[in-house]
Each structure stands twice: as C-alpha cells, then as structure tokens.
Amino acid sequence: NGDKIRTVQSFETPRRLRALRSFLGMCNYYRSFVPNYSKIAGPLLQLTKKNERFNWGPDQEKAFLELKERLTTAPILKHFDPDLPIEVHTDASDLGVGAALMQKEGEMVLPVAYASRRLTDAEKKYSTTEK
C-alpha cells in the first residue's frame, strides 16, 4: 500500500521516547515480514528500557534507517501451502533467537514467515542449545 510506505518513509528520526515508541509500535505490527527484526531493532529497544537515558547515537540511527528500508521494500514471502513440505530454520545468538518457516516450491525454498525476539538477561546466560 503506497500510503503505508509513504508513512514509514516520512517518519522522522525520533527525538523523544514517545516518538520512538510510536515508530516501534508501527514496526512491531509488520515484524513477521522482517528477517532478524529483534536483532535489527535491538539498539532502539534498548532505549525503551526502564531507567535508560534516551541517547540517540549511530547504532540507533543505523537501526532506524534499516527498519525503514526493510519495511518499505516488498517482502518476498509466499503464502503457506499445506500440501507442500515445510522447513523450520532457527538461529540463536547472545542477543536473541529467530526462526523462519520455509516451503519448497519446485527447486526453490521460499520464506513463509519470520519470527524473532530479544533474549531477557536471564535467557542470555543459557547455552546455545537451550536458547
């Protein structure tokens, strides 16, 4: 939708926490279309933590611009077909976990959906296989 794309493209760099939360709320609605959403949004989400000073730096600007780019380029997701085989790809790092639901169509393996989230401080202590 062109109006939604223009809304994202025209979103100015947040200067206050309220504006950042507004941007992240919009992004969160579309997060399943963005691979590694939690990792990309990490520097922005850090600023929303309780008792965290709002200090916008290069990491936040990079994350902000990357999310805007990812949200305004056409996703290449396919519709789920219950008759096709599925693959689940997972990944874990020290910051978060992610997954992709894939389906093989002909010779191509295409994404159906993405999921990711940041780890809590306690979860960051888990071994990779526990994450």
| Mean pLDDT on 78-90 | 93
Which pLDDT score is estimated for 74?
A: 63
Q: In this structure, are 60 and 90 located in the same domain?
A: no
DSSP 18-87: HHHHHHHHHHHHTGGGSTTHHHHHHHHHHTTSTT------HHHHHHHHHHHHHHHS---PPPP-TTS-EE
Structurally, the chain folds into a number of domains equal to 2
Q: In this structure, are 56 and 30 located in the same domain?
A: yes
pTM: 0.67
Find the domain containing 35 and state its range.
Answer: 2-72
Per-residue pLDDT of 5-27, as tens digits, reads 888 888 999 999 999 999 999 99
Q: In this structure, are 9 and 61 located in the same domain?
A: yes
Residue 89 pLDDT exceeds 80: yes
Which pLDDT score is estimated for 24?
A: 96
Which pLDDT score is estimated for 55?
A: 95
Residue 119 lies in a domain: yes
CATH of the domain at 19: 3.30.70.270
Q: Would you say 79 and 68 are in contact if contact means Cβ atoms under 8 Å apart?
A: no
Q: In this structure, are 6 and 67 located in the same domain?
A: yes
Helices 58-72 & 2-10 angle (0-180, nearest 10): 170
CATH of the domain at 94: 3.10.20.370
